[in-house]
Amino acid sequence: MKIAVFASGNGSNFQVIAEQFPVEFVFADHRDAYVLKRAKNLGVQTYAFELKEFDSKQAYEEAIIALLNKHAIDLVVLAGYMKIVGPPLLAAYEGRIINIHPAYLPEFPGAHGIEDAWKAGVAESGVTVHWVDSGVDTGQVIKQVRVPRLAEDTIESFEARIHDNEYQLYPAVLENLGVERKVD
């Protein structure tokens, strides 16, 4: 199964994935995203272009679809990709796009799951991997884990534990979906 990873920034989830699974390419929606450096260091092909370079979001997504088709991608893995997937990409890859979210959905959807959970004072939050649909973090859940908020936590320590759980959960889900691990 050929996978492509989409990211917008740092790329720590990409790094964890690429160290364990063959990644056909990384797509970043920002030309200066650090994930592109991570990919180059791991020998993974990269592509980057920005929505503002296109006349419309449809044209932007059609360019993404062309890349996916060129590489015969089976599964799109969103790992900190901060764009809402629109109708063209959803239609072309329906049932073949997954996302990781740093909260226990349906709790705290959107771009600030960790911060929102922290501000709400919850006793626990979590991590969710789900199929992508037309909503924001509303797709069918594939797998979730709970992450407790400890009495001594700061938002930084809480966030670090959530990310540590992401780094365990995403590879487990990929393997369960039939993505073969790298052979040493």
Catalytic residue among 30, 71, 101, 163, which? Answer: 101
Nearby residues of 29 by Cβ (< 8 Å), 6 or more positions away: 6, 8, 48, 49, 50, 51, 81, 82, 83
Rounded distance between C-alpha atoms, residue 130 and residue 78, angstroms? 10
**Could you confirm whether 71 is annotated as catalytic?**
no
Q: At 161, which amino acid appears? A: R
Which residues are known to be catalytic? 101
